[in-house]
Amino acid sequence: MKKKYLFMLLSFLLIIFPIYQKAATAEVSATSTGASGFENPTYTLRSVDGTAVSTKTNPGQTTVLVFGKTTCTKTTTTLSNIAASEWIADDTIRVVFAECNFASQDETLSYSQKIDCEKIAFCYDESNIISQVMYDYATLFEDTARITLTTPFIVFIDGDNRVQSSLKGTQTAEQIKAEIDRLTDPMTPGDTTSPSPTPPEDLTGLENPEYIFRSIDEENISTRAVPTQTTLLVFGRPACSKTTSTLQDIAGSGWISREDIRVIFGEYDFASKDTVSQYSQQIGCDKITFCYDEENNAGGIRSAMFKYLSLFQEETTVNTPLIVLIDKNDRVQASWQGAQTADVLLEGLLQYAGPSETPSTTPQPPTLSNVSGLKASSGEKKIKLSWKKTPKAEGYILYQYKSQKWVRTAAIPSKDNSYTVKKLRPGSDYRFAVKAYLTHNGSQVLSRSYTSVYTATRPAKVTFKVTAGRKKATLKWNKVKGAAGYTIYYKTSSKASWKTVKKVKGTSFTKKKLRSGKTYFFTVKAYKTYKGKTYTSDSKAKKVTIK
């Protein structure tokens, strides 16, 4: 019996091994031949369109092999950067994406449509072969026992089919192109002239553990430094009064509009996108990027907060907000905990960002604080905006965001801190902003930043009919433009309270199990949701006596 099972096992291995070889065959070994780089352990992958894609490069063509996951924001950011580059159209460069997390063909195809770049070959493998391929390439650069891969893992194969280098983590198109250029444009043979030495990089501070956050505008925001900007990361939550006071102070500061400073707010307590969107409106500052992580993703905002905290202290107790300063060289330089004023933060920023302009002896015009407390109250065809009065302001300018730009709409005197925008479309989305102004030497001086609010008008009133049936009532109505759905209410007498029956998407509903001969009152309200807030139409009640 044992011999029989052994024979069956050997037969199975003889069948399956050639299949594995065909799917991912190492066509050559990675032995050194004296040439630069490593011999390419070539594999054949399967693309989403069913064609075979070899990792063997074509003569004279550089191959960029990107191992990653469809669920990895760092991979998505890198591929999006490549797709948007100019060099992706260069026929001497080939880019292959290999999905290493067993995503199906349909999942990888959907992902390729999201990236939307025909010049990238998207490959998939539901049987775990690509994952092994990735590690095989990684062993060319690292000791097997110490391999820790961060996706995306990018391998560069030159036109002679030699594996030359690799990169890990989020990369810009410029960084990838620089590596390609290094491979394709080496120093002329025999030229012993060394390149001019570059000034040593300022390596003060701590290494930045890069993270990718998701903004409320659905953009991937990297904590990696932008070379022209000093970054402030503010970790906090809307329910924290210290966080709110700090952000409001930043929003009203004079330096928030500086182009060489960026501020990123990371909500670490898993608040929803809608909640963080509403919070951003409360703060009212377009210069702050608001990010959320309601699914508590691995390597998400909460993990990032404690990682940055560990750079400065061993204890894991944090007093929010936690504010981290990252300089232009991508070095973490300072941190603060608890409520902070804009002036305190500016002192830290000036050490790394420098002054905003060369000091001048020319008298500077007065400055105005940004408008704060902007709120919106919606009607069917109008929206009332209100805000707190700004000290020294002689008036306010109202703007509406149209065609991707701010359009000046109205001027409001300083005695008023509210304005009603009329003649709007029911059930429509809007964005308004307000700036304060004063007059100096005959010129108008405005507050630095737009204080904006996302809002919408209520849907139009529902026109409906109600028909009595046997122990039931049927309601029908016309579709309301801009409505996401409808809520049906009823009550048993004119003085009773309304009870919610159901929310529906269609334009009819039947309420059953009613009492014959009894009179009921019904109404239907249209609703829509925008930026986390629900807007409900006015309504008219109708009564019906059940048969």
Amino acid occupying residue 118: E
Across residues 481-507, what is the average pLDDT?
95
User: So what's the pLDDT on residue 354?
Assistant: 67
- pLDDT class for 5, splitting at 50, 70, 90? very low
Contact between 234 and 321 under an 8 Å Cβ cutoff? The reply is: yes
Q: Flag whether pLDDT at 358 surpasses 60.
A: no
Assess contact for 388 and 417: CB atoms under 8 A.
Answer: yes
Tell me the CATH number for domain 464-545: 2.60.40.10
Residue boundaries of the structural domains of the chain: 22-184, 206-350, 375-456, 464-545
Strand partners, 148: none
> What is the mean predicted confidence (pLDDT) over 76-102?
90
Q: Does this chain's domain 22-184 share its CATH topology with 375-456?
A: no
pLDDT beyond 70 at 17: no
* CA dist., res. 222 & res. 199, Å (int): 26
Task: Say which CATH topology domain 22-184 has.
Answer: Glutaredoxin (3.40.30)
Residue ranges of the alpha helices (H) in 205-339?
A: 241-251, 273-283, 301-310
pLDDT of residue 13: 45
The pLDDT-based confidence of 147 (bands split at 50, 70, 90) is low
CA 46-47-50 angle, 5° bins: 85
When pLDDT is averaged across residues 384-388 and rounded to a whole number, the result is 95
CATH of domain 206-350: 3.40.30.10
- The pLDDT assigned to 25 comes to 38
pTM value surpassing 0.85? no
Q: Which strands, in side-by-side order, build the sheet including 331-337? A: 206-207, 331-337, 322-326, 230-236, 261-267, 288-292, 212-215, 220-222
- Structure tokens given for 11: 């037969």
Give the per-residue SS3 of 308-374: HHHCCCCCCCCCCCEEEEECCCCEEEEEEECCCCHHHHHHHHHCCCCCCCCCCCCCCCCCCCCCCCC
Q: Is residue 34's pLDDT more than 50?
A: no
If you average pLDDT over residues 504-517, what whole number do you get?
Answer: 96
Confidence label for 364 from pLDDT (cuts 50, 70 and 90): low
SS3 call for 80: helix
- In the predicted structure, residue 208 carries a pLDDT above the cut 80: yes
Q: How far is CA 155 from the centre of its chain?
A: 26
Spell out the residues 6+ positions from residue 391 whose beta carbon is closer than 8 angstroms to its own: 369
Name the residue with tokens 């008023």.
416
CATH superfamily assigned to domain 375-456: Immunoglobulins (2.60.40.10)
What length is written for the chain?
A: 547
Q: What is the mean pLDDT of the chain?
A: 84
